[in-house]
Chain A
Amino acid sequence: MKKRIALLAVAAAVGAVLVHTGGTAVAHGSMVWPGSRTYLCYEDGRAGGGGGDLNPTNPACAAAVAQGGKQPLWDWFGNLISNAAGRHREIIPDGNLCGPTTKYSAYNLTRADWPTTQVQANSQVTFRYNAWAPHPGTWEQYVTKDGFDVTKPLKWSDLEPAPFDKVTNPPLAGGEYAWQARLPNKSGRHVIYSLWQRSDSPEAFYSCSDVVFGGGTGTPDTTAPSAPGTPVASGVTGSSVKLDWSASTDNVGVSAYRVYSGGQVVATSSTNSVTVTGLSADTSYSFTVVAADSAGNASAASPGVTVRTSTGGGTPTGSCTVAYTRPSTWNGGYTANVSVSNTGTSAISAWQLVWAFPSGQQLSQAWSSTVTVASGQATAKGVSYNADIPAGGSVSFGFNATSTSTPPADPTSFTLNGSACAIR
């Protein structure tokens, strides 16, 4: 009997491992605020790639792609050394700090035109680091010394000797680690160098974030921008609307505007204008705008504007298809994979997929998407790298859930940004 239980235990363990490969994500990441070179070049590449490709327009990013190919940008979260084991200074030569392996070497290019993030000296900020699952480890953030020259190779001796910020096992939510930190007292152009050394593995991750310190006052910026003006809608189609609003003011500067509809961010902009896309035809939307500064302070919401999209030309019913599969089901739970395809002719930005989620089921974990359940409905949204679905493109995500019934009831309908989808 003992032997049988042992055999079953082995089988269960192996089964669990294999189920794990079916979608449960694992740790890998890079700094997304302030953005690392690979992350910001990836985002730049997406913007220039028309949705299905990566074609950066920033000259430094374009040069990095010419030297290192597009793969390091597709894998922007994988700038790592597998067997570092804390020996960073021993195994990474001067000049290679930003891209310590051959694959990421192009991100060591000595150029002044890497994408930058404007920050405020001495301010309290929230660092955000992309991740796929919690893993123990310690992050150390260093800043370059006064007089740093970005057009020269970055050396270990260019960094201040002690990290200005260090955190172990910060909280993970929504696919990102996030923690509060105080920026150092610097001015002008610098690099924030982040080291993530896992404690359960010798693997370590490296990222260079190009920043410009400005507005240092010696005190943290806790002043929020003023509320933006009422948005004015124009150019309404069946799937999009252009919004303009009067700009906010801020003691340091507004870094971004977020456009909300129904409590969800549907667009972001660095200026006081944006075109919201991916809307459903013949549907009413209420939009508000929030301004944010580089220290993370957010304004009050602007007054709302209600817009009804036109009846044609947008994303009609049936211009999306959903494939829902349950690759694994067990007594009390299941894993589901969902693929959402945009079969329309225009891109869908800030996608949201909604389906009925029975009361006997409970979401336990999701990957490649942020999934929330409320009032018997599940809502999945894209994460940083798959927030939009280009025309003809698709995105995939998955989740684990518990269920009081076996097999669990599968969804019978889905809506994508308000439009019903065909199920395949």
Chain B
Amino acid sequence: MTRALVALLVVGSVAFALLVGRAEPTPDLSRGVDGIGAWLHALTDECATVERGDDFTGFAGPVRSKVYAPFIAEWGTCAKPPYERLGLLVLKPGLEQAWRTALANGEVRGDPDLAFGDGFALTGSIGMEYIGLKRLECTPAACSLIEIKHH
């Protein structure tokens, strides 16, 4: 019984080591969206091809684009099922304040629909907790980074 348990745990630890061994803990943002794509691909074996975006308003619509776009240094998309086009955003500082201002002005509702890492964000909500991303909960007065509930 103990042997079987140890064998099972060794298998798990090997899988862990293999995956962690090939994945950087955070994206290399000096490479822009390619860095986010490479990081995500290393973690998930998906998002193999990143397509750079040139029309963020067409992707996100004018309301969210007005809030987000000034704080996006670069963006692109890749396929990571179930997302046919998952947005990868390299961020500049200020997005949180912009969302709060838009919230106070009644231009948006609720929380930003992004999953945040350090200096970047993804547009998905599924599985983001597994790759260490968090979401913002906002009121006009303040935003809080919170853990994403396990799916």
Partners in one complex: yes
Instruction: List, in ascending order, chain A residues with CB within 8 A of B8's CB.
Output: 12
Fill in one digit per residue for B1-23: 1 if any A CB lies within 8 Å of its CB, else 0. Answer: 00001111111111111111000
Q: Is the CB of A28 within 8 A of B125?
A: yes
Size bin of chain B's contact surface? 35 or more
Q: Are B130 and A12 in contact (CB under 8 A)?
A: no
Of A62-70, A147-155, A294-302, A345-353, the segment with at least 4 beta carbons within 8 Å of chain B is: A62-70
Instruction: Choose, from A102-110, A308-316, A357-365, the stretch at the interface.
Output: A102-110
Shortest C-beta distance, B75 to chain A (Å), equals 11
**CB-CB contacts of A64-108 with B at 8 A, as 1s and 0s?**
011111111011011011110000000000001000111101100
Stretch at the interface among A184-192, A237-245, A260-268, A326-334: A326-334
A213-B140 Cα distance, complex, nearest whole Å: 43
Q: Is the CB of A19 within 8 A of B9?
A: no
From the candidates A21, A66, A68, name the one contacting B127 in the complex (CB within 8 A).
A21
A22 CB contacts on chain B under 8 angstroms: 19, 43-46
Give chain B residues whose Cβ lies under 8 Å from the Cβ of A72.
61
Within 8 A of B (CB), among A103-146: 103, 105-106, 132, 135
In the complex with contacts A28-B125, A78-B126, A67-B82 CB distance below 8 A: no
The reply to whether B61 and A203 contact each other, CB–CB distance below 8 Å, is: no
The verdict on A173 contacting chain B, using a C-beta distance below 8 Å, is no
User: Which of A3-11, A160-168, A278-286, A371-379 contacts the other chain?
Assistant: A3-11
Residue of A nearest to B111 (CB): A82
Contact with A along B71-86 (1 / 0, CB 8 A): 0000000010111110
**With a CB–CB cut-off of 8 A, which chain B residues contact A78?**
124-126
A59 to B143, CA, bound (A): 37
Task: Verify A14–B137 contact, CB threshold 8 A.
Answer: no
Q: Report yes or no: B15 in contact with A82, Cβ–Cβ below 8 A.
A: no
Inter-chain contact B13/A25, CB cutoff 8 Å: no
Q: How many residues belonging to A are interface residues under a CB distance threshold of 8 Å?
A: 62
Chain A residue with Cβ nearest B103 = A102
CB-based nearest B residue for A202: B149
Within the assembled complex, what's the spacing in Å between the Cα atoms of A386 and B9? 37
Instruction: Report A93 CB to chain B, min CB distance, Å.
Output: 8
Known: A5-B5, A74-B85, A102-B110. A12 touches B11 (CB 8 A): yes
Give A4 Cβ to nearest chain B Cβ, in Å. 8
The CA of A16 and the CA of B13, in the complex, are separated in Å by: 9
Interface check A404, CB cutoff 8 A = no
| Known A17-B130, A21-B130; contact A68-B150, beta-carbon cutoff 8 A | no
Evaluate contact between A71 and B61: CB separation under 8 angstroms: yes
Report the nearest B residue to A93, measured CB to CB. Answer: B109
- Chain A residues near B149: list those with CB within 8 A: 82-83, 201-203
The answer to whether B19 and A15 touch across the interface, beta carbons within 8 angstroms, is yes
Q: Which of chain A's residues has its CB closest to B99's CB?
A: A102
Cβ A71 vs Cβ B87 within 8 A? yes
Q: A16, A23, A325: which contacts B81 (Cβ < 8 A)?
A: A23
Q: Is the CB of A21 within 8 A of B44?
A: yes
A78 to B111, CA, bound (A): 15
Q: Which of A82, A331, A396 contacts B148 (CB 8 A)?
A: A82
Whether B45 lies near A101 (C-beta < 8 A) is no
A15-B12 contact in complex given A83-B137, A368-B82, C-beta closer than 8 Å? yes
State whether B15 touches A19 (Cβ < 8 A).
yes
Q: In the complex, what's the smallest C-beta–C-beta distance from A349 to chain B, in angstroms?
A: 17
Query: Does A14 lie within 8 Å of B131, measured CB to CB?
Result: no
B24 at the interface (CB under 8 A from A): no
- Cβ-based interface call for B100 (8 A): no
- Name A residues whose Cβ lies closer than 8 Å to a Cβ of B: 5, 8-9, 11-23, 25-28, 65-72, 74-75, 77-78, 80-83, 96, 100-103, 105-106, 132, 135, 201-203, 325, 327-328, 330-331, 337, 339, 367-368, 385-386, 396-398
Given contacts A15-B14, A19-B15, A28-B82, 12 further A-B contacts (CB under 8 A): A12-B13, A13-B12, A15-B17, A66-B61, A67-B62, A69-B60, A69-B65, A78-B124, A100-B109, A101-B113, A386-B84, A396-B46
